[in-house]
Structure 1
Amino acid sequence: MHPPEPVMDVAHLGHVELLTPKPDDSLRFFRDVMGMTVSGAQGDSVFLRGWDDYERYSLQLTASKTSGLGHAAFRTRSAQALERRVAALRADGCEVTEVTDNVGHGPSFRFRDPDGHVFELYWETEWYAAPDDRRAALKNQPERYPARGVNVRRIDHFNCLAVDVRACRAFFERTLGFRCTERIELDSGEEAGMWLTATNKSYDFAFTKEAHGVPGRFHHVTFALDSREAVLQAADTFLDAGVPIETGPHKHAVQQTFFLYVHEPGGNRVEVAHAGARLVLAPDWKTITWTEAERKKGQAWGLRTVESFHTRGTPPLPGEDAP
């Protein structure tokens, strides 16, 4: 009996929308400190990109009364793939809504996961065309290296918080064909974390346990840098810019990402990271499961995870201080 044919209809993470109650300060952070390029604006949103993102943008920054995730979007591998995944979502009982007034890409289809986060699928997209003053010397590079701030290369992944991590994992595996590369299971049998991929990257997004039982919250978005040294240099950039570092630089045990976490002015957690050569090339990869005892050992080289990393998310809880 052969296993089911894998579903490869989702191509990659396209962009995330972050909500911010301090839009001007958040924009300055992502443009001047992170080194991203503004590539458009519409209504209450500004669109930004890393210098090696091939699409028009990877971050939508939207003015709001609070912080958190507006939505996260994935591009499919074809128009037919988009149709198949929308049909699968609807067959699973999921309400799917078409959105047509998008910046930078064609019609999209929005839905919610079991925890209430908003996701989006799309196919048609606008490839970034750099203006003359942003054009790279090499034609296979979308944009000139910014030489500004952290100089983030591209969007890498994001992490949502969830009340029921296992239910969310099953949903994405069942409807969109994501593969789980690593997970955390507590002694109680509860799933406390899962890392999913649609590509040969070790993960495109993750879900971890929400500490307060509040659904729909967000943990962080991650942008990729070229090397571990670039992460160390980012630490100095944040220091000079007066941006407090929450934790890192250090190496995660799960997925082995070399990491550094800060909070942008609107309150959302942001990671800059180097994932190294962690690719999942095996088509029959066996999910790695970490136990509660193993995770209590801390990160890869022994750094204890700071308490705020487990308890803070966005939007903030009532009475919770801003980071």
Structure 2
Amino acid sequence: MTNEPILDVAQLAHVEIYSTDIEGSVKFFREILGMEESHRQGNSVYMRAYEDFYHNTLIITANDEAGLGHIAWRATSPQALERRAQAIEALGYGIGWIDGDIGHGRAYQFKTPDGHKMEILWEVEYFQASEEQKTPLLNRPQKRPARGIPVRRIDHVNLSASETNKNVEFLEEALGFKVRERILDEDNKDIAAWLSVSNLVHDIAIMGDALGETGRLHHICYWYGYPQHLADVSDLLIEAGFKIEAGPGKHGVTQANFLYVIEPGGNRVELFGDSGYQIFDPDWKTIEWKGEDLEHAIIWHGSNLPQEFFEYATPVKQKSKV
């Protein structure tokens, strides 16, 4: 007998990142990744990709350290929002209600066991294209931008955590996430886990923080849908003076084609050439990688990830010399 699934969370709505160079960050996302600026207010810039239907999927906020501001999830209904707020409150991780923000209405804010700030909401503002932006492709929010190599939509967020299992269990119990794939140590504890509420292999991933820190951001990811675009954007990145951290390559976990780069504000950005496979089976069995299978888990093909990939997250912390 299995527990009735929780179907109260629909998708990743937006992510707020902190930037030490906000104009540099905005230029990166706009000129290299072709994203649109939706709004500016105070120390924040609101942006979206051209196939994101909402007002914004990215908020960049000026700060003296890079890192995560918050992650927002959209509920499946107003009633679902209330149910999840009550469940999170009962678990002791609630912060409380806010009236809303740019692009969305009332939201319930909370923290994960590791301290990552999140919120769940229902009411959203949809993007409205100007006459110049309108496209005859009626199922696309706007024309494809004619600059950079434009990403199409937000894909996922990856968090570093001091206690992987505790945070994974919270996402399952509080929000109804399903673990799609995981990497296990010799004691069958999570080294990393990939979870989703949608058909994607992951809307969020939780990785053990190699430095033992709490509440850090590993990366955010935007989606192309065409692996060739990873080679195309590589040219732009190199010519603009960016160092590509890893890729293009292909992960074993998720089967997705990837590229990693650090944006000017200090945060790691992953670009997906595709999203690997999708999951439609309601009785999906979690894929578990361990032992000899680990050889193909992180890299299916392409260069190995540098050690910095596992240690660098934001806010940046120095590795102990002890």
8 A Cα contact 2:250 2:302, kept in partner: no
2 CA distance for matches of 1:71 and 1:225? 24
What amino acid sits opposite 2:106 in the alignment? P
**Shift, 1:302, TM fit:** 6.0
3-state SS in 1 of match to 2:313? coil
Listed one character per residue, the Cα deviations across residues 107-163 of structure 1 (whole Å, up to 9, x for unaligned) are 111100010000110000001001112112222210110021120100000100001
2 CA distance for matches of 1:155 and 1:89? 25
**Shift, 1:276, TM fit:** 4.4
What amino acid sits opposite 2:317 in the alignment? L
For structure 2, the residue ranges without an aligned partner over 5 or more in a row are none
* 2:175 aligned residue: 176
8 A Cα contact 1:72 1:118, kept in partner: yes
Listed one character per residue, the Cα deviations across residues 21-59 of structure 1 (whole Å, up to 9, x for unaligned) are 111111111111111000011111000000000001110
**Which aligned pairs between 1:242-321 and structure 2 lie closer than 5 A?**
242-276=241-275, 278-296=277-295, 299-301=299-301, 303-318=303-318
2 CA distance for matches of 1:302 and 1:238? 18
**Shift, 1:233, TM fit:** 1.0
**Shift, 1:313, TM fit:** 0.6
3-state SS in 2 of match to 1:134? coil
* 2:92 aligned residue: 93
8 A Cα contact 2:81 2:121, kept in partner: yes
* 1:48 aligned residue: 47
**Which aligned pairs between 1:1-323 and structure 2 lie closer than 5 A?**
2-276=1-275, 278-296=277-295, 299-301=299-301, 303-318=303-318
Instruction: Give the TM-score, by structure 2 length.
Output: 0.96
1 CA distance for matches of 2:276 and 2:269? 22
2 CA distance for matches of 1:302 and 1:38? 34
2 CA distance for matches of 1:15 and 1:110? 14
Say which is worse superposed, 281-290 or 130-139, in terms of deviation.
130-139
Identity of aligned residues (%): 38
Listed one character per residue, the Cα deviations across residues 221-244 of structure 1 (whole Å, up to 9, x for unaligned) are 000002111111111121222211
**Shift, 1:68, TM fit:** 0.4
Say which is worse superposed, 137-146 or 115-124, in terms of deviation.
137-146
Question: How many residues are paired up?
Answer: 319
**Shift, 1:296, TM fit:** 4.4
What amino acid sits opposite 2:136 in the alignment? A
3-state SS in 1 of match to 2:85? helix
**Shift, 1:265, TM fit:** 0.5
What amino acid sits opposite 1:184 in the alignment? I
CA gap 1:91/1:58 in 2 versus in 1, 3 angstroms: same
2 CA distance for matches of 1:151 and 1:186? 38
Say which is worse superposed, 294-303 or 60-69, in terms of deviation.
294-303
2 CA distance for matches of 1:10 and 1:238? 35
2 CA distance for matches of 1:289 and 1:276? 19
8 A Cα contact 2:87 2:174, kept in partner: yes
Listed one character per residue, the Cα deviations across residues 258-277 of structure 1 (whole Å, up to 9, x for unaligned) are 00000000110001103345
1 CA distance for matches of 2:186 and 2:2? 29
**Shift, 1:306, TM fit:** 1.2
Runs of 4+ in 1 over 6 A off after TM superposition: none
**Shift, 1:318, TM fit:** 4.6
3-state SS in 1 of match to 2:308? helix
Instruction: Give the TM-score, by structure 1 length.
Output: 0.95
For structure 1, the residue ranges without an aligned partner over 5 or more in a row are none
8 A Cα contact 1:86 1:96, kept in partner: no
